[in-house]
Amino acid sequence: MRTHSRYRTTAAYQPKYANPIRFESGEIITLGGRDTEFPEFLWATDEQGREGWVHESKFLGTSEKKAVTTGHYNAIELAVRAGELVSAEEALGDWSWCVNSEGRKGWLPNHLLERVTDVLPFSIRPIESGDDATIAEIIRKVMPEFGAVGDGFAINDPEVDWMSRAYSENRSAYFVVVMHGVVKGGGGIAPLAGGDPDTCELRKMYFLPECRGLGAGTAMMSRCLQAARMHGFKRCYLETLDSMKDAQSLYVRSGFKKQCGTLGNTGHGGCDTFYVLDL
């Protein structure tokens, strides 16, 4: 059954099979038993030895153990984080074929999908030169909320006043979140200063209070990590403060792992908490 609904994932999910079965119409597969939890799915093996669960609508039995496939099918599952937005393109039984914001596709169990019916109250776009003054003001307003003032903090970086120019450099990107036509926050990525060429840094992700709790952080994180992958980075590093608990919750939901020491040479010696994500 075809569908084009949008959902938010209620929990993280990791694929269970490294090389799942996939086929086109007219191929012969070997059938095993039915899934006890989802009985409309049968275990199947293709001629290349790939295995996985296949919905009974995707084949016609030719014998007790053999069947011929009736169309395209791929049993790959989609890895997601809790709170991620996905679109469902097809439903089979209690599973849906989904695509995430980075264009990755796979099956997810329906019990992890929460229908999104509301229109998001914000949009995200690349920074423009006309946003520079507003973003500088936001950074200088938000960072003191968490004690991030003085030497060793990003609030003192010269680029704060010319963010659009700073992030037009090679392998860099910065985005702003807009509500009712007004910039309310931003975030970006750039090569990690003093680090290896495969590592980028998540930089200057800050939001005004009226923009928090709406999913803007999750959406911005997804956009930044998508840009990092497009620029060929293999890892994303960030520095923060232990007092920024909500931000750390976002990092953990996004797959970041806390580490003991610093990477590179950011010049932000005031930070005391560090995270890395393998992209």
| Residue keyed to tokens 């919750």 | 249
The DSSP secondary-structure symbol of 261 reads S
Predicted local confidence at residue 152, as pLDDT: 66
Predicted local confidence at residue 118, as pLDDT: 62
Do 19 and 79 fall into the same domain? yes
Q: What are phi and psi of 210, to 5 degrees?
A: -70, -10
Do 154 and 197 fall into the same domain? yes
Do 27 and 150 fall into the same domain? no
Which of the residues in the chain have pLDDT under 50?
A: 1-3
Say if pTM beats, i.e. exceeds, 0.75: no
Do 16 and 42 fall into the same domain? yes
The strand ranges marked E within the chain are 2-9, 22-23, 28-34, 41-45, 51-55, 59-61, 66-69, 73-74, 85-92, 95-100, 105-109, 113-115, 123-126, 173-179, 182-191, 199-207, 235-240, 257-259, 273-278
Do 65 and 129 fall into the same domain? no
Give the C-alpha separation, 258 to 275, whole Å: 4
- Ramachandran bin of 239, using left for φ above 0, alpha for ψ from -120 to 50, beta for the remaining angles: beta
Q: What is the arrangement of strands in the sheet containing 113-115, beginning at the earlier edge strand? A: 105-109, 95-100, 85-92, 2-9, 113-115
Do 74 and 24 fall into the same domain? yes
Quick one: 214 exposed, middle or buried, by C-beta within 10 A (0-12, 13-18, 19+)? middle
User: Of 199, 268, 271, nearest to 240 (Cα)?
Assistant: 271
Which of 85, 115, 145 terminates a domain? The answer is 115
Do 262 and 132 fall into the same domain? yes
Predicted local confidence at residue 245, as pLDDT: 87
Which of 115, 145, 177 terminates a domain? The answer is 115
- CATH at 156: 3.40.630.30
Contact 141, 209 (CB under 8 A): no
Predicted local confidence at residue 268, as pLDDT: 79
Domain containing residue 68: 2-115
Predicted local confidence at residue 133, as pLDDT: 95
Predicted local confidence at residue 53, as pLDDT: 95
User: Of 182, 8, 29, nearest to 100 (Cα)?
Assistant: 8
Structurally, the chain folds into a number of domains equal to: 2
Do 74 and 130 fall into the same domain? no
Return the sign of the alpha-carbon dihedral for residues 218, 103, 86, 128: positive
Do 210 and 138 fall into the same domain? yes
Do 23 and 39 fall into the same domain? yes
Do 173 and 249 fall into the same domain? yes
Give the C-alpha separation, 259 to 276, whole Å: 7
Do 45 and 104 fall into the same domain? yes
Predicted local confidence at residue 74, as pLDDT: 96
Q: Which amino acid is at 180?
A: H
Helical ranges in the chain per DSSP H: 132-142, 163-166, 216-230, 245-253
Which of 115, 144, 170 terminates a domain? The answer is 115
